[in-house]
Amino acid sequence: MQHGDTIRVASPSEGEAAAKVEGRYLYCVADSGEKVSLGPIGIDGREVYAIPYKDICAIVHDCAAEPYQSSDAEVVKGWVRAHQRVVDRAWEKWGTVLPLGFDTIVRDQEGSDSRESVETWLATDYQSLKRKMEAVRGKAEYGVQVFWDARTIAKSIAETSATMGRLEDEIRSKPRGLAYIYRLKLENALKREMEAKADQCFRDFYKRIKKHVCDLRVEKTKRTGHDSRMIMNLSCLVDRDKSTELGEELESIDKMEGFSVRFTGPWPPYSFVST
Amino acid sequence: MEPTRDSHATLVDLLDRILDKGLVLYADIIVSVAGIPLIGVNLRAALAGMETMLKYGVMQEWDERIRAWERENKKDREFPLASGEQLVLKMLGSYHYSEGIYTSWRQGYFYLTDRRIALYLPTFGEVLFEASLRSIKGLAIGREKHFTATEREHLCLLLDGGDTAWLHALDTRQLKEAIEREMTAQGLTCEEMPALALPEEADTCPQCEQEAPVKELVRDGCGRCGWVSARVKEEMLRATAAR
């Protein structure tokens, strides 16, 4: 199917404004010089097609030169999923993609169509795009998040730590007022030991995970609330055929008492294309 | 352990990637809203903490509203110049306000015109201090210890009738020079006089009504009749008991 270069019928709900093409919404850069269409699978059912340059192409749809914005969370979720669907489709089809973040729109310049701008960008950045593509070829991104149950960990520290045990004995022999001060001391000691333990776990897990991945990024941990605490958040670039090994390693962490692991993916290599 | 990509359970993971990451185009041909992916805002609101919300501009609308209100309602009032009066200099500053035992440095803008020097508060349209150039008999620069533990300069004005005013400005010396220039231009003369120290706040002794500086009264009591404050009395009692 040949994509329509100039004339395209806007869906009725979008009205007249939508018929005016002023920009190209970018989904990803793919490893193919084919001039093809992927069909109406884009955001709001837009026709998605490739703008090729040499042996690579940008996957785009035609749009107005303004960002997608909505106050309706459901609408936004739909757009984000559509974005992901298109990147996934290109990924399946050509094996290697460099995904773009949501809402990247190239707009028409004076005297130059945004299509030309996209081509110029592909031409100018060709070398660096190719290099990035080589770096992620045959690989996928996985999310690894390690949590611990603060209660279980605290309990095991309290049972095994010598300092904690000593403090606890001392509390019993103290009058009430002093015992209170000692309890505060105990809590602080516990907090410190837990931090140290989290640190040590991080280093241990990091070493174990690193063996199975090509590259990784340490992400910010997130607040999870209650007793479950995220102590590690990684984005890992993994050879497609090695994800099982990583899965096994993670399983052994997941089985440790008080620990749990979230393993998500495979994602297009979002975290490994920006630099 | 198998990785999951179930679209409900991993929406947050997807958003982390799609909204924050991916290939970046550093070009001015990109449509953007001040670099903020506004699109994810509402979704973020539901899923993320405050920090991320601010980062993605969730509070933007609220902030805009507050600012709009501010713009609408807090219009500064113009300094009321008399007809034919010429503004010479406007400068941020303060003057030493004193009323009984209450003293403070009140802040505003100095407006020096060809007729007067005034400290004006644009927000409330209030003139805090005013003196006509004709009434200025002398000027001096003095130094005082400021509560910020630094020393700063103030301008001391000797006015008609023996009143004194202490002013401080962003550039006190510049203010002084501007006043002098303006006075000279109008054929007014003023003396360079020795700097006067800031007045110590005075009050009267509650027992014998002798006038004395407040600090002294509170700390040492009245030198004439021997009155001391309740607090000092208590301290003295305690000291005696301890002995």
Q: Residue B201 has what pLDDT?
A: 60
Burial class (CB in 10 A: 0-12, 13-18, 19+), B44: buried
Q: What is the pLDDT of residues B71-127, one digit of tens each?
A: 776 667 788 888 889 899 999 999 988 776 677 889 999 999 999 999 999 888 889
Q: Which of A44, A267, A275 to mutate to test the interface with B (most CBs of B within 10 A)?
A: A267
A265–B3: do the CB atoms touch at under 8 Å?
yes
Q: Residue A10 has what pLDDT?
A: 39
Q: What are phi and psi of A55, to 5 degrees?
A: -105, 15
Q: Which residue of A has its CA nearest to B17?
A: A270
Which chain B positions have a beta carbon within 8 Å of A217's beta carbon?
none
Q: Is the pTM of the predicted complex or chain greater than 0.90?
A: no
The terminus-to-terminus CA distance of chain A in angstroms comes to 35
Closest to A104 in 3D by CA, of B153, B146, B228, B31: B31
B1–A254: do the CB atoms touch at under 8 Å?
yes
* Choice between A159 and A71, residue whose per-residue pLDDT is larger: A159
B23–A102: do the CB atoms touch at under 8 Å?
no
Q: Place A113 in a pLDDT band, splitting at 50, 70 and 90.
A: confident
Note whether B8 contacts A: Cβ–Cβ < 8 A.
Answer: no
Q: Where are the alpha helices (DSSP H) in A34-149?
A: 73-94, 114-124, 126-136
Note whether B32 contacts A: Cβ–Cβ < 8 A.
Answer: yes
Q: What is the pLDDT of residues A17-46, one digit of tens each?
A: 444 678 899 999 999 998 999 999 999 999
Which chain A positions have a beta carbon within 8 Å of B5's beta carbon?
264-267
- Is the pLDDT at B39 greater than 50, yes or no? no
Q: Residue A275 has what pLDDT?
A: 67
B62/B53 Cα distance (integer angstroms)? 12
Which of A224-228, B33-37, B151-155 comes out lowest in average pLDDT?
B33-37
H/E stretch holding A266:
strand A259-267
The packing angle between helices A73-94 and B11-20, to 10°, is: 80
Quote the percentage of chain A above a pLDDT of 90.
58
Its ipTM equals: 0.81
Q: Residue B33 has what pLDDT?
A: 46
CB nearest A102 (choices: B13, B18, B31): B18
Q: Residue B197 has what pLDDT?
A: 64
